[in-house]
Structure 1
Amino acid sequence: MTKRPLEILDQVLNRQPVIISLKGGREIRGVLQGYDVHMNLVLDKAEEEGENGTVSLGTLIVRGDNVIYISPSVE
């Protein structure tokens, strides 16, 4: 059975970290707390890998038009 994109997001919601790739080359990792049909995302425990190491961002809202992809994180 083929899953719909929002069904896949439901599976990771509040369970496991996801990696969000954003326009401009940024990647953010965090626990998906919520989303809407426009792919606006709420992340908890968000962090970004940068040139100077990992930067903790806390709770973060990501506007959907900046999202390139969302992937379950492998830790």
Structure 2
Amino acid sequence: MTKRPLEILDQALNQKPVIVSLKGGREIRGILQGYDVHMNLVLENAEEEINGVIKNQGTLIVRGDNVIYISPSVN
């Protein structure tokens, strides 16, 4: 059975971290707390690697038109 994208996001809510790739080459990792139909995301315990250093971002709201993809984290 083929799942719809929003069904897959529902399964990721409050679970393992997801990796969010953004325009401009940035990637943020965090726990998906919520989203809407515009792909605006709420990430908790978000972190981003900048120049080899992991920077904790806390809770972030990511605007959906900046999102390239969302993927389950491998760690």
TM-score, length-scaled by structure 2:
0.98
Give distance in 1, aligned partners of 2:31 and 2:41.
10
Give distance in 2, aligned partners of 1:47 and 1:7.
25
Q: Helix, strand or coil: the match of 2:44?
A: strand
Give distance in 2, aligned partners of 1:64 and 1:12.
17
Kindly state the Cα deviation for residue 50 of structure 1 after the two structures are TM-superposed: 1.1
Structure 1 gap segments, 5+ residues each: none
Alignment deviations for residues 6-25 of structure 1 (CA, whole Å, 9 cap, x no partner): 00001110011000000000
Structure 2 gap segments, 5+ residues each: none
Corresponding residue of 1:29:
29
Alignment deviations for residues 2-51 of structure 1 (CA, whole Å, 9 cap, x no partner): 00000000111001100000000000000000000000000000000110
Give distance in 2, aligned partners of 1:55 and 1:36.
26
The alignment covers a number of residue pairs equal to 75
Kindly state the Cα deviation for residue 73 of structure 1 after the two structures are TM-superposed: 0.2
TM-score, length-scaled by structure 1:
0.98
RMSD: 0.6
Identity, in percent, stands at 79
